[in-house]
Structure 1
Amino acid sequence: MSISRERLHTLLGLADTELVLEACETDEQGSHLVERLRFRSLRNGAEIRGLLTRPPGNDGPRPAILYAHAHGGRYEIGASELLDGRPALLGPPGPVLAEHGFVTLCIDMPTFGERSNVTESAAAKAALWYGRTLFGQMLAEQQAALTWLSSREDVDANRIGMTGISMGATLSYFLAALDTRIAATAHLCCFADFASLIETGAHDRHGHYLTVPRLLAETSTGAIAGLVAPRPQLICVGLDDPLTPPPAVERAYAETLAAYRAAGAGGDISLVAEPGVGHVETRTMRDAALAFLTNRLAGTGSH
């Protein structure tokens, strides 16, 4: 079931959001620099923490990554994932991405990190009562972060990718579907057909944030990921992950692959599906994602 970007935007209840930078502190960490950022949302006045890693020096505009943090029930982590990692990751992604030449930005999503004083349940209910969705708010803020990131003098706005694990993965491919400024996306451990999850009860393992009224009446996650075509997309899953059971992955991937082939871009979609692996990043996934992002955004293969 195909869907237009405009209709997806409406279903998600996205509201235009702008982030204004109010403060920045820079720390030198040897192999990379860290910027600790304070944004203000012009939509609702919220203060939003941002963390950014980048290579030292200034040798012209660089490729960049918008990094979306995960959920995992660890509401206290949020954007700190970029610098400190989390149990599902091999290690902090920010320093590694800086070593590969990327400027990488991560912001606290609503109910996470320094914004965890409001519960996910309360935020989701409030959004739905106003005809919006918490997921739509998250995506709108990620889009605003993308706008800010693309405006930096040290960033090449034509070479911005997006990545994340779990909730961050879902945010990555949904935002890439909505916003063509995302030149490439690599996402880990959260790609599955939602209808298939409901059929098995696995949908209840996902958070309230992902509740979007009428979404499955009009489209599917595979079709949404297909909106990313023809831009490159890497999908990584563990075949023993209860959040992404194999039948749900296969169904979603078949739809996404069909969309890429229809766009003449069958070679720009790839799936890494590891047997015996649960809801965690593996060395194979990390190596594949780094190679993909470097080739598509930083290397001679960028486009």
Structure 2
Amino acid sequence: MTLRDRLGALLGGYPGDSFALVTQGRVRDFDGWVLEDLCFHRAGEDIPALFLRPPEGPPPVPAVIYAHAHGNNYATGREELVEGRPALIGPYGPDLKALGCAALCLDMPSFGNRQASDEQARAKAHLWRGGTLFGQMLAELGAGVGFLADHHLVDATRIGALGFSMGSTHAFWLAALDVRIRAAAASCSFADLGMLVESGAHEGHGLYMTVPGLVGQASTGEIAGLTAPRALMIAAGFRDWSTPEPAFRKAEGELRAAYAAAGAAEKLRFHIEPEIGHQETPAMRRAVLDFLRQELVG
């Protein structure tokens, strides 16, 4: 069994199936592009989403799964794409549109319009049934990749993943598990989980990330390394509780080794700001956009 298969088993099953049905709600103008309210249906649950895309007519464009953050702000889900959040310098929607890159952002379980069942209740139910909330999240994001790959306005060979904080974790895990992801940018959540547990820093992460037995099976660097030889960018600050330097450096070293072994060192990029905490900076945003321009938009 491959590492990717073992991770899927630990998560309780991945990849997920496709979304069974899509319904469209409000359609808005977004500076000449289109912003659609969509509702996907999977496993008996409605999954609201925002889809930022070009109007009909142009050739297919690249697209990203935009994974929103956590921040203990359960009211903010898919709207982060166009409204941003305090830890970001602004929403990514206008920047992605300027790049010519479509974007799909789903409300993750317990966020946005899915707060009726909270994170603790969901995580416990999954664990008692032998699954994980993290696995559900990744399966839904994977189904989102399928939606993008099948959309007539999207170039299925140029699909990426992008996120900050919880979204960062989702982005590099999704890239590791789903070979349809061509490039992933993950900001402000990348560190060796074993070292975080030893130091107690893991307490900063939400219950959604609990995957029983994970530390004994694979390290963060090994997981992210499954993305090689595809493009990956990691951004971090060392005053960030989620990326303390010792735990970051261990994961970084293992990730660099994986890319070197794949003969793809040039496809791995880091942006490190030692004095920055759990927040995005203008320099970080520029680095992420430059990466996407080079590796996805091209």
Do these two structures clear the TM 0.5 threshold for a shared fold by scoring above it?
yes
1:18 corresponds to 2:27: no
Please give the per-residue CA displacement for 1:258-291, whole angstroms capped at 9, x wherever unaligned.
0000000111111111021011111111111111
Structure-2 residue corresponding to 1:34: 35
**In 1, Cα distance between the equivalents of 2:35 and 2:25?**
10
Greater Cα offset, 51-60 or 192-201: 51-60
Letter in 1 for 2:31: G
Structure-2 residue corresponding to 1:95: 94
Q: Tell me if the contact between 2:159 and 2:296 (Cα under 8 Å) persists in the aligned partners.
A: yes
Q: Tell me if the contact between 2:24 and 2:36 (Cα under 8 Å) persists in the aligned partners.
A: no
Q: Tell me if the contact between 1:3 and 1:224 (Cα under 8 Å) persists in the aligned partners.
A: no
Deviation at 1:58, TM superposition (A): 2.7
Letter in 1 for 2:17: T
**In 2, Cα distance between the equivalents of 1:246 and 1:150?**
37
After TM superposition, the runs of 4+ consecutive aligned structure 1 residues lying more than 4 A away are none
Q: Tell me if the contact between 1:32 and 1:95 (Cα under 8 Å) persists in the aligned partners.
A: no
Structure-1 residue corresponding to 2:196: 197
- TM-score, normalisation: structure 2: 0.97
Q: Tell me if the contact between 1:22 and 1:38 (Cα under 8 Å) persists in the aligned partners.
A: yes
Letter in 2 for 1:25: R
5+ residue gaps, structure 2, are none
Greater Cα offset, 61-70 or 21-30: 21-30
> Structure 2 matches for 1:174-253, cutoff 5 A?
174-253=173-252
Structure-2 residue corresponding to 1:124: 123
Q: Tell me if the contact between 2:157 and 2:180 (Cα under 8 Å) persists in the aligned partners.
A: yes
Deviation at 1:18, TM superposition (A): 2.5
Q: Tell me if the contact between 2:54 and 2:153 (Cα under 8 Å) persists in the aligned partners.
A: no
Q: Tell me if the contact between 1:189 and 1:238 (Cα under 8 Å) persists in the aligned partners.
A: yes
**In 2, Cα distance between the equivalents of 1:78 and 1:52?**
13
**In 1, Cα distance between the equivalents of 2:33 and 2:120?**
37
Deviation at 1:3, TM superposition (A): 5.8
Structure-1 residue corresponding to 2:166: 167
Report the number of matched residues. Answer: 296
Letter in 2 for 1:30: D
Q: Tell me if the contact between 1:124 and 1:133 (Cα under 8 Å) persists in the aligned partners.
A: yes
Structure-2 residue corresponding to 1:279: 278
Letter in 1 for 2:128: W
Q: Tell me if the contact between 2:56 and 2:153 (Cα under 8 Å) persists in the aligned partners.
A: no
Letter in 2 for 1:87: P
Structure-1 residue corresponding to 2:68: 69
Greater Cα offset, 270-279 or 18-27: 18-27
**In 1, Cα distance between the equivalents of 2:67 and 2:31?**
24
Structure-2 residue corresponding to 1:47: 46
Structure-2 residue corresponding to 1:9: 8
Letter in 2 for 1:40: H
Letter in 1 for 2:159: I
Deviation at 1:53, TM superposition (A): 1.3
**In 2, Cα distance between the equivalents of 1:55 and 1:245?**
40
Letter in 1 for 2:18: E
1:115 corresponds to 2:110: no
Deviation at 1:56, TM superposition (A): 4.3
Q: For residue 78 of structure 1, give the secondary structure of its aligned residue in structure 2.
A: coil
Letter in 2 for 1:32: W
Q: For residue 86 of structure 1, give the secondary structure of its aligned residue in structure 2.
A: coil
**In 2, Cα distance between the equivalents of 1:32 and 1:96?**
12
Q: Tell me if the contact between 1:53 and 1:95 (Cα under 8 Å) persists in the aligned partners.
A: no
**In 1, Cα distance between the equivalents of 2:145 and 2:193?**
26
Greater Cα offset, 252-261 or 18-27: 18-27
CA RMSD of aligned residues (A): 1.3
Structure-2 residue corresponding to 1:82: 81
Q: For residue 209 of structure 1, give the secondary structure of its aligned residue in structure 2.
A: helix
Q: For residue 278 of structure 2, give the secondary structure of its aligned residue in structure 1.
A: coil
Letter in 2 for 1:231: R
Q: Tell me if the contact between 2:132 and 2:208 (Cα under 8 Å) persists in the aligned partners.
A: yes
Deviation at 1:55, TM superposition (A): 3.5
Deviation at 1:29, TM superposition (A): 2.6
Identity between Structure 1 and Structure 2 (%): 48
5+ residue gaps, structure 1, are none
Please give the per-residue CA displacement for 1:124-163, whole angstroms capped at 9, x wherever unaligned.
0000000000000000000001101111101000000100
Greater Cα offset, 52-61 or 278-287: 52-61
Structure-2 residue corresponding to 1:261: 260
**In 1, Cα distance between the equivalents of 2:102 and 2:240?**
30
